[in-house]
Structure 1
Amino acid sequence: MENVLRPLVVVGSAVVLTLLIGWATDLLLRKADERHSETPLWGLLRRARIPYQLMLCAALLRGSYDQAQLLEAHRVGIGRTLTLVLIGSAAWLMTRIAAAIVETSYTRYARVHHDAARVRRVRTQASLIMRVVAAVVGVVAAAAMLLTFPAMRAAGASLLASAGILGIVAGVAAQSTLSNLFAGLQIAFGDMVRIGDTVVVDGEWGTVEEITLTFLTVRTWDERRITMPVSYFTSKPFENWSRGTPQMTGIVFWHLDHTAPIELMREKLRDLLRECPAWDGRDYGLAVTDSTPNTLQVRALVTAKDADDVWKVRVTVREQMISWLCAEHPYALPRVNTADAVLPPGHLPSPDGAGARRLPEQPRTGRG
């Protein structure tokens, strides 16, 4: 009877004690969250209650398993399993705590600073720091789990002896991976590109959606995702429209007839921009930038606060200016000229169509 009750008491006590401690800890965190609503730290720490309770239960069972005297034949295997669960849950808990601290720091910074560029920079750095912490904790936890096996401890000495050679071989084999890793750290702390920046890479315009230690994802205007290695942004030139101030100047081109009313178009451009909410009011202009035998190239400059608004201003000005020209000045639209050529003064067309002939000179008369 004792052989049955003792294991039940030990296991039941560990489970009940784990639930009580977990409930008390969660209650304290909930009260702290209600009292300090200005910070999300306590609410984020509550997300770690599952790995916290799992670690507590594994620790209690591992410490009291010798007293339970349950399954003596599998005592070593069960003890090692509890140790592995303890190490894994501890690593899980550390990752959740680190994520809560990093997220809280980012939230406080975003509340204090209203500069969108700085906030995106800190967001990128916080994301990459969290990934580095998770990777380090995972590697340490995996190494600790492997060291619980005696065979792995015995092989440790021989592995350390060949660590130098293995390191060189691994470095050569993972050269691209390591370059991407260091490039990711350079992007995070060098402020080259941030999450939310508007960039142009390989002729594709989009917004940086995700940055990891090895790759970067750009979401294009048509909802496509372009995944590129982060080493691309440290080795090749690219356009970052959000670098510095997000204000931008847009260009609109028209090809019109030589009779186009340029001055009236300047006035119409001013009226169109005043009615466009995306225009920031900084500057505008309209000028003839080129001419061909058939058309004029007219360019309009417009400004906006960011890339999205400058796109809206450009399409609005282009559409409404064309509509206005069609309705009020249709002669200004480009067309194929099929009229007869205007001859120089003093020339008449030849009757047979072969060419022009010069008029005979009239005798001069004077007073005599």
Structure 2
Amino acid sequence: MDSVLRLTIVVGGSVLLTVASGLLADFLLRRADLRHPETPLWGLLRRCRAAFQIVMLAGLLRGSHRAIDWPPLRERQALIGHVLLLVLIAAGAWLSIRIVAAVVESSYARYASGSREAAKVRRVRTQVTLIMRVVTVAVGVVAAAVMLVTFPSFRTLGTSLLASAGIIGVVAGVAAQSTLGNLFAGFQIAFGDMVRIGDTVVVDGEWGTVEEITLTFLTVRTWDERRVTMPVSYFTARPFENWSRGGIEMTGTVMVHCDHATPVQLMRAQLREILDTCPTWDGRGWDLSVTDTTPTGITVRAIVTAKDPDDLWTTRCTVREQLVAWLSRQHPYALPRVATAPADRPARSTKSLGGELRSPSR
């Protein structure tokens, strides 16, 4: 009866202390969040409540499980203590990652709210994402190593493993050459400002927006909602187009094939009227010129500008559609035609072979 009472007191007391400490921490963080609305740190730290409570419960049970003195548990005290220690290490790693994530996200949010340059915000976002992935991997590796050290067999093998660590490192480096290359390429992309989350890129003929960057791969969301995943080493070894680097303003062209009789001057004036009513044209520049001529027609090129690639695409489509509609409605003869009738032959010359004029017969 005494052992059962001790079991109830130890387990129940640990649970009550854990719940009370979690509620108290959440209350204090909520108060701090209300007092400091300029930073989201305290609100983000509230997400650590579950990890904090697991750490508290594992720590309390780890320190008080020997006082239970219950025969079924007394025989397995070493095993129970070891399991609680492993849970404590894992929960501590989880709590550390959540705290670091809260601090990093809070710093990024404050920077993003105070910066007006979208390119710098995307660059910082890319760096923050990769830093958090590195921290997560590092904390996970350290936690796994500490958990392995708690097993006596691994402590015994430690000396022999250190002796062969050099050879194992060389072999692992050769075997994981491509993985390590992608890893270093990820750091180069993050801190070399080559490509950022949210950039508009053209890679391997695919146009889209960078959606995710990790230490080993990069995901591009194309205009038709497909996801193209590529290793990050691709962006350090091959050329690609980054339409968002150095400013997102762009200039585009619209090619229209017309007949030789096209009124180019009127077409130029019509282009200006179309752009004046186009909400996606940014007003920076425009032009219309004849860039080529063939035996069957001419090529007219319209140049338009927009503030970003999406608006440029819309502007080009609008100009192309309305120019063709205007030509079809006002000047249908200016549209390209395909000649299917034989050409008229010129009249016979009246000059003789000797160069004298022959009088027509009457």
TM-score by length of 1: 0.94
2:199 matched to which residue of 1?
Answer: 197
Residue 128 of structure 1: aligned partner? 130
Aligned length: 354
Distance in structure 1 (CA, Å) of the matches to 2:296 and 2:304? 26
Cα drift, residue 6 of structure 1: 1.4
After TM superposition, list the pairs within 5 Å mapping 1:24-35 onto structure 2: 24-35=24-35
Secondary structure, aligned partner of 1:279? coil
Q: Distance in 2 between matches of 1:237 and 1:340?
A: 51
Give the 3-state SS of the residue equivalent to 1:244 in structure 2.
coil
Give, as a single letter, the amino acid of the residue that structure 2 aligns with 1:348: A
Q: Which residue of 1 aligns with 2:42?
A: 42
1:209 aligns with 2:211: yes
Counterpart amino acid of residue 51 in structure 1:
A
1:1-368 equivalence runs, <5 A: 1-70=1-70, 71-338=73-340, 341=343, 348-349=347-348, 357-360=349-352, 361-362=356-357
Q: Is the 8 A contact 1:55 1:89 kept in 2?
A: yes
The residue type paired with residue 39 of structure 1 is T
Distance in 1 of aligned mates of 2:139 and 2:200 = 33
- Aligned partner letter, 1:188: A
Q: Distance in 2 between matches of 1:73 and 1:358?
A: 129
| Maintained 8 Å contact 2:127/2:190 | yes
Q: Give deviations 1:329-359, integer Å, cap 9, x for gaps.
A: 000011122466466xxx624xxxxxxx544
Deviations 1:294-353 (A, max 9, x none): 01011000000000000000000000000000000000011122466466xxx624xxxx
Distance in 1 of aligned mates of 2:155 and 2:33: 45
Q: What amino acid maps onto 1:89 in structure 2?
A: A
C-alpha contact 2:350 2:357 (8 A) present in aligned 1: no
1:196-246 CA distance string (max 9 Å, x none): 000000111000000000000000000000000000000000000000110
User: What residue identity is the alignment partner of 2:12?
Assistant: G
Contact 2:10-2:64 within 8 A present in 1 as well: yes
Matched residue type, 2:174: V
Query: Residues of 2 paired with 1:255 and 1:101: CA distance?
Result: 58
CA distance in 1 between partners of 2:318 and 2:251 (Å): 15
2:189 alignment partner, SS class:
helix
- 8 A contact 2:350–2:358 mirrored in 1: no
* 1:86 Cα deviation after fit: 0.2
Q: Is the 8 A contact 1:288 1:297 kept in 2?
A: yes
SS in 2 for 1:348: coil
Are the equivalent residues in 2 in contact too, given 1:210–1:218 (CA < 8 A)?
yes
Tell me how far 1:184 sits from its aligned partner: 0.4
Whole-angstrom distance in 1 between the partners of 2:53 and 2:340: 88
Map Cα deviations across residues 124-164 of structure 1 (whole Å, 9 max, x no partner): 00011011000000000111111110001111111111000
Contact 1:348 1:359 in 2 (8 A): no
Aligned to 1:353: none
Residues 10-38 of structure 1, C-alpha deviation per residue, up to 9 Å, x if partnerless?
12111111111111111000111111111
1:198–1:242 contact (8 Å) kept in structure 2: yes
Distance 1:156 1:206 in 2: 50
Gaps of at least 5 residues in structure 1 are: 350-356
| CA-atom RMSD in angstroms | 1.4
Paired-residue identity, %:
64
* 2: CA distance, partners of 1:74 / 1:167: 39
Cα 1:339/1:4, change in 2 over 3 Å: closer
In the alignment, the residues of structure 1 paired with residue 123 and residue 4 of structure 2 have an alpha-carbon distance, to the nearest angstrom, of 60
What is the alpha-carbon distance in structure 1 between the residues aligned to residue 347 and residue 297 of structure 2?
Answer: 28
Letter paired with 1:27: F
Say which SS state the counterpart of residue 114 (structure 1) adopts: coil
Distance in 2, matches of 1:142 and 1:358, equals 105
1:200 counterpart SS class:
strand
Letter in 2 for 1:30: R
Structure 1: how far apart are the matches of 2:245 and 2:139?
A: 34
List per-residue Cα deviations over 1:144-190 (Å, max 9, x = no partner). 11111000111111111100000000000000000000000110000
For 1:177 and 1:99, how far apart are their aligned partners in 2? 25
Given that residues 348 and 358 in structure 1 are in contact (C-alpha distance below 8 angstroms), is that contact kept between their aligned partners in structure 2?
Answer: no
